[in-house]
């Protein structure tokens, strides 16, 4: 027996204490109003394969938290569940040429066995699986309530599309223009989707952030930025020789007289309409669609643009004629890669540009 085994023989010690915990229901959460409550919940794993060391790390951190709080006298609830209702599980089943329900439930059973020898302080009596009716019926009931009260609605929106997983990816899941799971080149697609009208509660959420006790300031700032409420104005630029106007939202209308040119995203209706009869523009839009829409991805992207040949008329063209050179009456309209960032975060697809150093290089 090695020196390490003499100090701690895990093959004997772990099963011994795990059996005791199991026999005594040591981690079962019960109603006890004499103790402070503590709810510990890690993200549920996808049951599309086996547990790996990433899972072990994640749930060890949760287990440490739960045990620490229990040692402090808290009434701890530490449940576990399975994020089993979605495309990762379905795609895994397709690869195995089996029914998603059969494959998913088998994976849950196998992963449950893998969890056992780890000895985590989990209350397995509260185990849930999101693919089972007893769970998702509550989500369906909530969704119906949202829809009936106007809080759930459908609209078209641009998304990051993974052609292999056949699913939508968050900006953070697009790495160097490729899907984080499959490595496939991500495409931009406009899909009809369901949305929850969280904006209806933006003011309430913002007002309550300052009342959160014990939250780090940086987290409060992140939450405030995520809610993303801003104050500004809608400005309209008529397009020369066209009936439509370019609508631009800005939080800095005071910079309007410094506008050098206008830019739209590759997904703007004007860009898409022009591309129908312009193969070069269609290819440029395709190139834009291969980029990620995260701030980091677009900041790293080369400053590329395409001159539409259209001219946007400055909203104060008459005043500019009287006080400034007439060259600023009309502004060139470009399609810019960097405009994708605004489209991704704020659903704004048109901007005006001030002639800063970086933009000057782009204009040249």
Percent of the chain with pLDDT over 90: 44
Quote the CA–CA distance of 316 and 240 in Å, as a whole number. Answer: 14
pLDDT of 199 reads 85
Same domain membership, residue 7 and residue 129: yes
Q: Is residue 143 part of a domain?
A: no
pLDDT of 360 reads 47
Model pTM? 0.68
Q: Which CATH number fits the domain that encloses residue 319? A: 3.90.740.10
The residue among 179, 194, 227 that closes a domain is 227
Which domain, by its residues, includes 111? 3-135
pLDDT tens figures, 232-262: 888 999 999 988 888 888 888 888 888 888 8
Quote the CA–CA distance of 100 and 138 in Å, as a whole number. Answer: 21
Given pLDDT bands bounded at 50, 70 and 90, which one contains residue 177? Answer: confident
Q: Which CATH number fits the domain that encloses residue 153? A: 2.170.220.10
Q: Is residue 108 part of a domain?
A: yes
Which DSSP string corresponds to 210-271? TT-SS--HHHHHHHHHHH-----EEEEEEBTT-S-EEEEEES-GGGGGGEEEEEE-TTSHHH
Same domain membership, residue 171 and residue 253: no
Q: Is residue 172 part of a domain?
A: yes
pLDDT tens figures, 183-240: 898 887 888 989 999 888 989 999 999 899 889 999 999 889 888 788 888 899 999 9
How many domains are there within the chain? 3
Q: Which CATH number fits the domain that encloses residue 127? A: 3.40.50.620
From first CA to last CA, the distance across the chain in angstroms is 75
Same domain membership, residue 285 and residue 315: yes
pLDDT tens figures, 46-95: 888 899 999 999 999 999 999 999 999 999 999 999 999 877 778 788 88
Same domain membership, residue 162 and residue 94: no
CA nearest neighbour of 123 among 32, 30, 13: 30
Same domain membership, residue 275 and residue 210: no
pLDDT of 255 reads 85
Mean pLDDT computed over every residue of the chain: 84
pLDDT of 344 reads 45
Same domain membership, residue 110 and residue 15: yes
Greatest mean pLDDT among 111-125, 147-161, 179-193? 111-125
pLDDT at 126 over 90: yes
Same domain membership, residue 182 and residue 61: no
């Amino acid at each position: 027996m090695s020196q390490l085994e003499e100090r701690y023989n895990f093959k004997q010690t772990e099963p011994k204490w795990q059996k005791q915990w199991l026999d005594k229901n040591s981690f079962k959460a019960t109603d006890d109003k004499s103790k402070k409550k503590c709810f510990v919940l890690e993200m549920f794993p996808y049951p599309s394969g086996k547990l790996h060391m990433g899972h072990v790390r994640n749930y060890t951190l949760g287990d440490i938290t739960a045990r620490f709080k229990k040692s402090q006298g808290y009434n701890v609830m530490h449940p576990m569940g399975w994020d089993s209702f979605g495309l990762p599980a379905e795609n895994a089943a397709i690869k195995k040429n089996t029914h998603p329900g059969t494959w998913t439930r088998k994976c849950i059973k196998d992963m449950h066995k893998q969890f056992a020898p780890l000895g985590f302080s989990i209350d397995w009596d509260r185990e849930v699986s999101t693919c089972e009716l007893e769970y998702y019926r509550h989500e369906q009931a909530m969704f119906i309530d949202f829809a009936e009260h106007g809080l759930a609605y459908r609209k078209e929106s641009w998304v990051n599309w993974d052609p292999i997983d056949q699913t939508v990816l968050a900006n953070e899941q697009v790495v160097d223009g490729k899907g984080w799971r499959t490595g496939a080149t991500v495409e931009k697609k406009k899909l009809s989707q369901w949305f929850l009208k969280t904006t209806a509660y933006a003011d309430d959420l913002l007002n309550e952030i300052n009342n959160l006790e014990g939250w780090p300031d940086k987290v409060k700032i992140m939450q405030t930025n995520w809610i993303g409420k801003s104050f500004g104005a809608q400005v309209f630029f008529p397009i020369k020789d066209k009936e439509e106007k370019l609508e631009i939202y800005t939080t800095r209308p005071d910079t309007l007289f410094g506008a050098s040119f206008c830019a739209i995203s590759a997904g703007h209706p004007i860009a898409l309409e022009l591309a129908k009869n312009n193969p070069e523009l269609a290819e440029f839009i395709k190139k834009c669609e291969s980029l990620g829409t995260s701030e980091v991805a677009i900041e790293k992207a080369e400053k590329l643009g395409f001159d539409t040949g259209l001219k946007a008329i400055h909203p104060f063209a008459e005043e500019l004629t009287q006080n400034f050179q007439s060259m600023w009456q009309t502004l060139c309209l470009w399609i810019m890669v960097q405009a994708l960032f605004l489209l991704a975060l704020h659903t704004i697809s048109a901007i005006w540009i001030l002639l800063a150093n970086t933009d000057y290089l782009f204009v040249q």
